[in-house]
Amino acid sequence: MVQKYADTIVLGAGISGLSIAHAAHSHDHAVLLLESSDQVGGSIQSYRADGYLAEHGPNSILIKDKQVATLLTEVGLDAQESQRANNKAKKRYIVHQGQLHAMPSSPLTMIKTPLFSLGGKLRFAMEPFIGRYAEHKNGHNEESFADFVRRRLGADMLTSAAGPFVSGIYAGDPEKLSVRHAFPRLWSLEDRYRSCILGAIALKLGAGGNSDQLAKGKMLSFRSGMHAIPKAIHDHLPHNSVKTQCAITKIKKTNAGWSVCWNDISGQQETTCKNLVITAPHHKLRDLPLPNSVFNGLTPVMSLDSPPVTSLVLGFKKEDITHPLDGFGMLIKQSENSRLLGVLFSSSMFDGRAPEGHVTLTCMMGGTIHPEYSENSDEIVLAELDRLLGVSGKPTFRHKISWPRAIPQYGLDYQNTLDAMDEVENNNPGLHFAGNYRGGISVGDCIVNGLELGTRLSTNEQQGF
Ligand X SMILES: Cc1cc2nc3c(=O)[nH]c(=O)nc-3n(C[C@H](O)[C@H](O)[C@H](O)COP(=O)(O)OP(=O)(O)OC[C@H]3O[C@@H](n4cnc5c(N)ncnc54)[C@H](O)[C@@H]3O)c2cc1C
- Report the amino acid identity of residue 176: K
Q: What is the DSSP string of 104-153?
A: P-SHHHHHH-TTS-HHHHHHHHTGGGSPPP-S--STTSS-BHHHHHHHHH
Stretch that binds ligand X, among 65-73, 76-84, 388-396, 439-447 (CB under 6 A): 439-447
Interface with ligand X, residue 36, by CB under 6 A: yes
Query: HSE (CB half, 13 Å, CA atoms) of 222?
Result: 23
Mention every residue, 6+ apart, whose C-beta is less than 8 A from residue 124.
110, 116, 153, 154, 156, 157
Q: How far apart are CA 400 and CA 54, in angstroms?
A: 9
CA dist., res. 220 & res. 40, Å (int):
20
Q: How many CB atoms lie within 10 A of CB 151?
A: 18
Write down the least CB distance from residue 277 to ligand X, Å: 11
Q: What angle do CA 357, 402, 14 make, to 5 degrees?
A: 95
Sort 197 into a burial class: Cβ within 10 Å, 0-12 / 13-18 / 19+: middle
Q: Which is nearer to ligand X, 153 or 260 (CB)?
A: 260
Query: Residue 158 or residue 364: which is nearer to ligand X going by CB?
Result: 364
Instruction: Round to whole Å and give the CA distance between 363 and 316.
Output: 13
In the list 9, 21, 34, 196, the residue contacting ligand X (rule: CB under 6 A) is 34
At 323 the three-state DSSP class reads coil
Q: How far is the CB of 310 from ligand X (least distance, A)?
A: 8
> Could you tell me the CA-to-CA distances from 406 to 115, 364, 367 in Å, in that order?
29, 11, 8
Which string of x and - marks every residue 240-279 that binds ligand X (by CB under 6 A)?
A: ------x-x------------------------------x
**Total number of residues that touch ligand X (CB under 6 A):** 39
Using CB under 6 A, pick the residue from 46, 59, 178, 360 that binds ligand X: 59
Using CB under 6 A as the binding rule, whether residue 219 contacts ligand X is answered as no
Counting contacts by CB under 6 A, is residue 20 touching ligand X? Answer: no
- Tell me the closest approach of the beta carbon of residue 202 to ligand X, in angstroms: 24
Query: Which window, 122-130, 132-140, 377-385, 403-411, contacts ligand X (CB under 6 A)?
Result: 403-411
Of residues 120 and 454, the one with the C-beta less far from ligand X: 454
Contact residue for ligand X among 21, 23, 44, 242 (CB under 6 A): 44
When binding is defined by CB under 6 A, the residue of 8, 46, 60, 159 that contacts ligand X is 60
Q: Which chain residues interact with ligand X by CB under 6 A?
A: 11-17, 34-37, 42-44, 57-61, 246, 248, 279-281, 284, 287-288, 309, 311, 403, 406-407, 435-436, 441-444, 446
